Amino acid sequence: MRWNKPNLRNNLHDLLGRDKPSSTAWVRDQGLEDVRRSMLQSLVGTTGCEVARMNMRLRYAADIEALWYLRIDLQKTLQLLRGDASAQRTIDEITVLFQGQLPRSPRPAQAPHLPRVH
């Protein structure tokens, strides 16, 4: 039994991106690429195995959440190359770019208000 039977119509819809609203996908993708570009820019002018590895990880990160978590590794790489203060400044500047890009985290449940019994 074949679960995913490809056909011309499905392939065409995939190519056209019919599964996502095009207007919001473009904005989301543009924000992702702006963040990615800024993170890659922070490595310009540096060399080494760790820089090359970080560069690849940033280039192939699939979504904004992946880039968010790569900030920590980028900071560690920058600390080795430029020192703590410079790395922290760079990460602070990059962190601002994530504003409005990440899905909201669920708020912790609040205890229900119970009526007072006299």
For 41-57, write each residue's pLDDT tens digit.
999 999 999 999 999 99
Do the domain assignments include residue 46? yes
The rounded mean pLDDT for the chain is: 78
Nearest to 41 by CA among 98, 90, 84, 97: 90
Angular region, 94: left φ>0, alpha ψ -120 to 50, beta rest = alpha
* 14 located within any domain: no
Residue 71 falls inside a structural domain: yes
Residue 9 lies in a domain: no
The structural domain count of the chain equals 1
Length of the chain counted residue by residue: 118
pTM summary value? 0.65
**75 within some domain:** yes
Q: Is 104 contained in some domain? A: no
Task: For residues 75 and 69, give the distance between their C-alpha atoms in angstroms, rounded to a whole number.
Answer: 11
Residue 1 CA to residue 12 CA, distance in Å, equals: 24
The parent domain of residue 47 ranges over: 21-97
